[in-house]
Amino acid sequence: MNPDICRERENATFNTETLTNMLDGSAEKTRRRREIESLVINDPDFQHDDPNFMSRSERYDAAVKKSSQMIMKLRDYGISDPEEIYFYKRTARRTFHEAFGLHYTMFLPTLYSQCTPEQQKKWLPLAENFKALGTYAQTELGHGTHIRKLETTATYDPSTQEFVLNCPTVSSIKWWPGGLGKTSNHAIVLAQLYTLGKCHGLHAFIVPIRCMKTHQPLPGVTVGDIGPKFGFEEVDNGYLKLENVRIPRENMLMKYAQVEPDGSYLKPPSDKLTYGTMVFIRAMIVGESARALSKSCTIAIRYSAVRHQSELRPGEPEPQILDYQAQQYKLFPLLAAAYAFTFVGQYMSDTYHRITGHINQGDFSQLPELHALAAGLKAFTTWTANAGIEVCRMACGGHGYLCCSGLPDIYVTFTPTCTYEGENTVMMLQTARFLVKCYRQAREGQQLSGTVSYLNEQQRLQPQPVSSRPTVVNINDLASLVEAYKLRAAKLVEVAAKSLQGELQRSISQEDAWNNSSIELVRASDAHCHYVVVELFAAKLSEISDTAVHSVLNTLALLYALHGITLNSGDFLQLSQITQRIKALLVEIRPNAVALVDSFDYNDEMLNSVLGRYDGNVYESMFEWAKRSPLNRTEVRSFIIFNIIQKK
């Protein structure tokens, strides 16, 4: 064990196992999680070479093999709890996505949430036994964001009681769905529903695309892989062109909307229920932001504890780079954000399941807030985590740029979360739409609930414009900082609403007024989400009984809140003493930095990083890894070329 990393662990002021148990929910949950992870770690079937040493085709084949092995092994172990399946799969996947990813994350959830009981009886056994292997085909070449303008059509033919699916133009070709290119034999296709000559908008249809026996594309189906990407190399994101493909009426997902045999249309309680799967994934992505950022912090902070470079004081030995204030200022706010997002991810998942429980009982009243919260937190946390992973990579110097550091793979796998499942700016504008509506309701005296109730509070406190009120903050008191973030959010929502109002008074259209206020609207959503994150971090602390853990997390929460103020100092009254306080917090966190990342409890296999190894033996591992590079399988590779050049 590297002596530096040993010393770091000896210096910690809290018990990492206590914090790990808290993050898992209990000591028993930690034990069970580790037990499941060890099933993968000790399984020779999952000991394979680094995908970075493989071609794209080899990576895809290996991913399909791994997805298949996981299915069989989970059955053999009798593991069926979704959370335990997730622990097993994320250990086997390491940093990468899996070939069957969309089947699990969107195809199955759509069947669960949008099929009638009769449809579930038919499709769930097929899908749960992987006979029907599916994806979610919504995006087209011409549209990903603006889904009301998707062009694929599903036209009902009452004479045969079938839907005829068509991609009428090149821009209507389905483009991007994961697992579509080579893996899936079915797709949930989002298409404009036409019946009895009338268009009823976007609806979901189960479309067979490959023969379940031969896996050949079915008649009228053109399908394939869209080619190499920035990352996701083991996933066959694909294209799908449908030409007069007929499916039975029963293949339209009819839990909420129906087409009768004669073609008559029965509309849903809300036309946004078709969008439900997207809300689910957005909510889940918040937790993914926490995991990607916490892995990156684990790698960068452990490496910074063992890397010695330059000199702090002439003549002294080279210090650990973790002792540089600049290195701490890069990494510790990100470590604080990783903990904040871990708690927000748990809150978002709980809130999603609570509200969808009400929706399944027919109560749709909280759907607008769920959509706004999932959209905003997905954008806010992925933007922060995306940038943070790059900071962690660069904080590791040249070795961070090596694939064996694990950081490039984490980055290229995570960065599309800012785009897919709702492009982040578009999502922030969706949240802003909800905030402006709530602001107007508060002004009219309506009582608000949930995460926007502060808009009432600000109205009651002082009727004068919120923006004119000074922000007075006690920088050592988390509750005071939460109030500062609340006031900032209220201010920026008011600024956005007033910008809209001002635009409308220039008698331009609502749409142009909205576009001309987009900057204020996005900033209002960002401030709202930032307040929600700080508030939830503070609320989590009140649940922690262990004083040592409470103390270290309170320090992190203070750092997260104060650092956020310096990043947005224009919105807060510039508090000169904040920087000094931040410096003091960095010093407080320093002895616990490694113990704090150890508490995330990522085993080396899942971390997949020679820089972030638990034992800190970095250099030896890097040299061993490099020697395995395919280019090193022969001592001489281009001798012939050298020969030709030398002869000339």
User: Any idea which residues carry the catalytic annotation?
Assistant: 421
- In the complex, what is the shortest distance from the CB of residue 646 to ligand LSRMNBYM, in angstroms, rounded to a whole number? 51
Residue 16 identity: T
3-class SS of residue 206? strand
- In the complex, what is the shortest distance from the CB of residue 373 to ligand LSRMNBYM, in angstroms, rounded to a whole number? 11
Q: Which of 593, 502, 416 is nearest to 8 (CA)?
A: 593
Spatial contact of 535 and 486, defined as CB atoms under 8 Å apart: yes
Going residue by residue from 434 to 463, which x/- string records binding to ligand LSRMNBYM, judged by CB under 6 A?
A: x--x--------------------------
- In the complex, what is the shortest distance from the CB of residue 22 to ligand LSRMNBYM, in angstroms, rounded to a whole number? 21
Q: Which of residues 144-203 bind ligand FAD (CB under 6 A)?
A: 144-145, 176-178
Q: Which of residues 38-97 bind ligand LSRMNBYM (CB under 6 A)?
A: 86
| Residue 148 binds which entry of ligand FAD, ligand LSRMNBYM, none, CB below 5-8 Å type-dependent | ligand LSRMNBYM
Please tell me whether 139 is known to bind a ligand. Answer: yes
Spatial contact of 207 and 187, defined as CB atoms under 8 Å apart: yes
| Residue 147 binds which entry of ligand LSRMNBYM, ligand FAD, none, CB below 5-8 Å type-dependent | ligand LSRMNBYM
Burial of 614 (0-12, 13-18, 19+ CB in 10 A): middle
3-class SS of residue 223? strand
- In the complex, what is the shortest distance from the CB of residue 647 to ligand FAD, in angstroms, rounded to a whole number? 48
Residue closer to ligand FAD by CB (options 166, 417) is 417
- In the complex, what is the shortest distance from the CB of residue 139 to ligand FAD, in angstroms, rounded to a whole number? 3
Distance of alpha carbon 172 from alpha carbon 241, whole angstroms: 8
341 sits in which H/E element: helix 325-360
| Residue 104 binds which entry of ligand LSRMNBYM, ligand FAD, none, CB below 5-8 Å type-dependent | ligand LSRMNBYM
Spatial contact of 4 and 306, defined as CB atoms under 8 Å apart: yes
218: tokens are 């079915």
Using CB under 6 A as the binding rule, whether residue 113 contacts ligand LSRMNBYM is answered as no
Among 164, 392, 429, 553, binds ligand FAD (CB under 6 A): 429
Spatial contact of 422 and 378, defined as CB atoms under 8 Å apart: yes
| Distance set, CA 298 to CA 302, 352, 563, 608 (Å) | 6, 28, 20, 11
Residue 149 identity: K
Please tell me whether 197 is known to bind a ligand. Answer: no
Distance of alpha carbon 270 from alpha carbon 216, whole angstroms: 38
Spatial contact of 278 and 421, defined as CB atoms under 8 Å apart: yes
Using CB under 6 A as the binding rule, whether residue 412 contacts ligand FAD is answered as no
Nearest position to ligand FAD, beta carbon: 144
Spatial contact of 548 and 554, defined as CB atoms under 8 Å apart: no
Burial 570-594 (b: 16+ CB within 10 A, else e): ebbeebeebeeebeebbebbbebbb
Residue closer to ligand LSRMNBYM by CB (options 291, 393) is 291
| Residue 232 binds which entry of ligand FAD, ligand LSRMNBYM, none, CB below 5-8 Å type-dependent | ligand FAD
Spatial contact of 429 and 522, defined as CB atoms under 8 Å apart: yes
Q: Which of 306, 407, 377, 388 is nearest to 531 (CA)?
A: 377
Residue closer to ligand LSRMNBYM by CB (options 290, 402) is 290
Q: Which residues pair with 189 in a beta bridge?
A: 137, 205
- In the complex, what is the shortest distance from the CB of residue 176 to ligand LSRMNBYM, in angstroms, rounded to a whole number? 7
Among 95, 139, 172, 328, binds ligand FAD (CB under 6 A): 139
Spatial contact of 283 and 374, defined as CB atoms under 8 Å apart: yes
Among 16, 20, 113, 138, binds ligand FAD (CB under 6 A): 138
Cα 230–Cα 233–Cα 239 angle in degrees, nearest 5: 90
Q: How many helices (H) and strands (E) does the chain have?
A: 23, 11
Among 31, 121, 148, 633, binds ligand LSRMNBYM (CB under 6 A): 148
Q: Contact region for ligand LSRMNBYM (CB under 6 A) — 159-167, 346-354, 417-425, 607-615?
A: 417-425
Positions in the binding site for ligand FAD (CB under 6 A): 102, 136-139, 143-145, 176-178, 232, 237, 416, 419-420, 423, 425-426, 429
Binding residues for FAD: 139, 178
**Residues making contact with ligand LSRMNBYM (CB under 6 A):** 86, 101, 104-105, 136, 138-139, 145-148, 178, 272, 275, 278-279, 281, 284-285, 288, 367-368, 371, 420-422, 426, 430, 433-434, 437
